[in-house]
Structure 1
Amino acid sequence: MLRFAAAGILCAALAAPAFAKDEAPAKQLFGAVKLPSSSPAQPFGFYAKGCMSGAVALPTDGPTWQAMRLSRNRRWGNPQMIALLQQFSQDAARLGWGSGILVGDISQPRGGPMLNGHASHQIGLDADIWFTPKPAQPLTPQQREDMPFTSMLDKSKFLTVDDRRWTGTHAKLVMQAASYPQVERVFVNPAIKKKLCETWRGDRSLLGKVRPVYGHDEHFHIRMACPPGATSCKKQAPTPTTDDCNSKELAWWFTKEPWAPPPKPDPNKKPVKPRQVTLADLPNACSVVLAAPSRSEDAATFGGAMAYSAQPAASAPAQAVGTVMESSLPLTNVPLPSPRP
């Protein structure tokens, strides 16, 4: 069914005349759309170069979650992602993560490039989770706009987790996210990956899904694999099946190279203005996705009146994911942090 729906949209895109706004920056076109398309749910393209049809919204409030920064209108995703977040929020609460999770950006109503903040999050299969638990007292809409992030790093030291803030429950939360079969990657700050390598005593193979990336010290990023049958979704390379703690990739972050200042531009050369991504740079189907009729917000809110039967997100038992932590486990062959250049 998904293949036929994708093929239909793609054929329509190929047969349609050139979109009138082909030369406008794609981020402006997708950023201006307030509601999802009424077509079947489907990701098109890659996580950082694509769009999505048939998105659904995470309800702003749930028993074990709250959506943050509502003014951004980025709580839309593939139905399987929204189902996963709701399952994860329940598991997080069982782990002792407050009363649940605070959910940051997922995607725009039709995916696509964003005006600011992300290069990915374009096909409805990425979501940000705050390193702050949902409080017992629900946050007001204004508090969700103003509440600051909390970094897990010790700002006085180079790439070091702040042990006054980081706890075993933080580790369990990240590893719970990595435990779901449909989750392909969990992006965290390199210092957090190193901390998990040093301390995690649960299933070490799950650490291969936890990938070190710049930033991600105030939140972590869940990325689902392309859903089964979504032939229009471009897959990533598989993640390591080991903990990957002694990899060159992780060690590289603790060298001077990532932090070296960029070379000074040649004053004799005319500056080159960065080229904006346009609709023509995205998969052909995105033109039709952008122009498609809208579904109302009520009809497209997950769990409301929408024509979609989501399958429950598979999950490992919350208690089985993170029962053993040990702060003294040594890490070999990974450079220790040194003063930042």
Structure 2
Amino acid sequence: MRQTAFLLRAATLAAALFGAVLAPAPATAAEPLAKTLFGAQKLPAATAPESFGFYSKGCFAGGMAIAVDGPNWQAMRLSRNRRWGHPAMITLLERFSRDAAKDGWNGLLVGDISQPRGGPMLSGHASHQIGLDADIWFTPMPDRRLTAQERETIGSRSMIKDGGLLVDDKVWTRSHEAVLRRAASYGEVERILVHPGIKKKLCDTVKGDRTWLRKVRPFWGHDSHFHIRIGCQPGSAGCKGQEPAPASEGCDKSLAWWFTEEPWRPNKNPDAPKARDIMTMAALPAACRAVLNAPAPPSEASVTLSGPGRPTVAAVSVTVTASADEPVRAGAIPVPTPRPQR
């Protein structure tokens, strides 16, 4: 009897141990989404300017915010906190705003650039993650300063006919062509994304020098704004650029494809999650963890390009121009202890 009881207890213990080995480990908490982590950042990483990864999968440090108001620009959708970019991008936008005024453009309405530390956004864009993309509205700046409420609610008018793919000649002007030509004139600008109908309009109407058309690329959306992309900047060894735009004008069969049925067919799986909605930190460059953990500057004012006559502070000895005739030597944000194709 004792032997039988012993064997039963031994069998029970063995079964318990064996079951413990086979039982699945307790589920760990799901890793937070990268868009949640980056979307929560209110200020940039106070380190040297540097972009990590690709335009649609990365982050950046040492960001600067374009001022809410400038002599030739106004920032829009302020509540999104997406007016941050690599200092080279912010400097370019200020220069662009001055030059466009010479072309008869009343001033830029600046849309999204990037979040303070880049990364995937809570909504909207797939790109704009490394501080080197910016959206400019096709509606020029009005002759007055917009209120905070207006900046949240008014929109930019589409350049495309309702229900069609071609430009609406009632709203398109030579000034629209001029502002795109000006944007393409800068060496650091690698691509300008516009609606295919706008690209076709340029192909059909641009006279004289047409070499700049190679930078203007057709893409979905972009009917009420255009997207400027600059290349990876010096000091950003971890930045991944894209292939140069084709050398041709792009007014060929590659454009004709956009006017076939194929690019506009309904999405067969509209409920499929977008990349930003499933992307975790594991999908981003390892350096992006350090960007998230880096200290912030003391205030937004220390990293804002503020227009002529006002102090300008850029990250680590970046030289910018605050007005057409007033070069400014930028101060340095205190550097913290180092932490780890279209």
Please tell me the TM-score bracket, short chain as reference.
Answer: 0.7 to 0.9
Deviation of residue 259 (structure 1)?
1.6
Give the stretch that moved more between structures: 29-38 or 299-308.
299-308
Deviation of residue 312 (structure 1)?
5.5
2:60–2:291 contact (8 Å) kept in structure 1: yes
Match of 2:33 in 1: 25
Match of 1:255 in 2: 260
Aligned with 2:291: secondary structure? helix
Give the stretch that moved more between structures: 71-80 or 271-280.
271-280
Give the stretch that moved more between structures: 61-70 or 296-305.
296-305
Deviation of residue 53 (structure 1)?
0.3
Per the alignment, do residues 143 and 203 of structure 1 end up closer, same or farther by CA in structure 2, a change over 3 Å counting?
same
Q: How far apart, CA to CA, are the structure 2 residues paired with 1:312 and 1:240? A: 32
Q: How far apart, CA to CA, are the structure 2 residues paired with 1:203 and 1:250? A: 19
Q: Which amino acid aligns with 1:310?
A: T
Q: How far apart, CA to CA, are the structure 2 residues paired with 1:273 and 1:66? A: 33
Deviation per CA, 1:102-131: give whole Å up to 9, x if none.
000000000000010100000000000001
Match of 2:156 in 1: 149
Q: How far apart, CA to CA, are the structure 1 residues paired with 2:30 and 2:289? A: 9
Of 289, 299, 302 in structure 2, the residue corresponding to residue 299 of structure 1 is 302
What is the aligned-residue identity percentage? 56
Deviation of residue 75 (structure 1)?
0.3
Give the stretch that moved more between structures: 301-310 or 133-142.
301-310
Q: How far apart, CA to CA, are the structure 2 residues paired with 1:203 and 1:311? A: 30
Per the alignment, do residues 57 and 22 of structure 1 end up closer, same or farther by CA in structure 2, a change over 3 Å counting?
farther
Matching of residues 3-152 of structure 1 within 5 Å: 23-98=31-106, 100-152=107-159
Deviation of residue 308 (structure 1)?
3.3
Gaps of 5+ in 2: 1-27, 307-311, 325-342
1:106–1:127 contact (8 Å) kept in structure 2: yes
Aligned with 2:259: secondary structure? coil
Higher strand fraction (1 or 2): 2
Deviation of residue 92 (structure 1)?
1.1
Deviation of residue 147 (structure 1)?
1.0
Q: How far apart, CA to CA, are the structure 2 residues paired with 1:264 and 1:232? A: 34
Deviation per CA, 1:23-46: give whole Å up to 9, x if none.
211001000110001111100000
Q: How far apart, CA to CA, are the structure 2 residues paired with 1:183 and 1:222? A: 7
Bigger Rg over Cα: 2
Matching of residues 208-287 of structure 1 within 5 Å: 208-246=214-252, 248-263=253-268, 276-287=278-289
User: What is the RMSD of the two structures over their aligned residues, measured on CA atoms?
Assistant: 2.2
Deviation of residue 273 (structure 1)?
6.5
Q: Which amino acid aligns with 1:251?
A: A
Match of 1:327 in 2: none
Q: How far apart, CA to CA, are the structure 1 residues paired with 2:273 and 2:78? A: 32
Give the stretch that moved more between structures: 298-307 or 66-75.
298-307
Q: How far apart, CA to CA, are the structure 2 residues paired with 1:258 and 1:146? A: 30
Deviation of residue 262 (structure 1)?
3.5
TM-score normalised by length of structure 1? 0.80
Deviation above 3 Å: which 4+ runs of structure 1? 262-265, 271-275, 305-308
Deviation per CA, 1:158-187: give whole Å up to 9, x if none.
211000000011011111101100000000
Match of 1:205 in 2: 211
Per the alignment, do residues 199 and 305 of structure 1 end up closer, same or farther by CA in structure 2, a change over 3 Å counting?
same
Q: How far apart, CA to CA, are the structure 1 residues paired with 2:145 and 2:102? A: 18
Deviation per CA, 1:286-319: give whole Å up to 9, x if none.
0000011001201111252344323569x9xxxx
Aligned with 1:153: secondary structure? coil
Match of 1:17 in 2: none
Match of 2:199 in 1: 193
Q: Which amino acid aligns with 1:85?
A: L
Gaps of 5+ in 1: 1-19, 266-270, 316-341
2:45–2:291 contact (8 Å) kept in structure 1: yes
Aligned residues: 287
1:80–1:310 contact (8 Å) kept in structure 2: no
Q: Which amino acid aligns with 1:121?
A: H
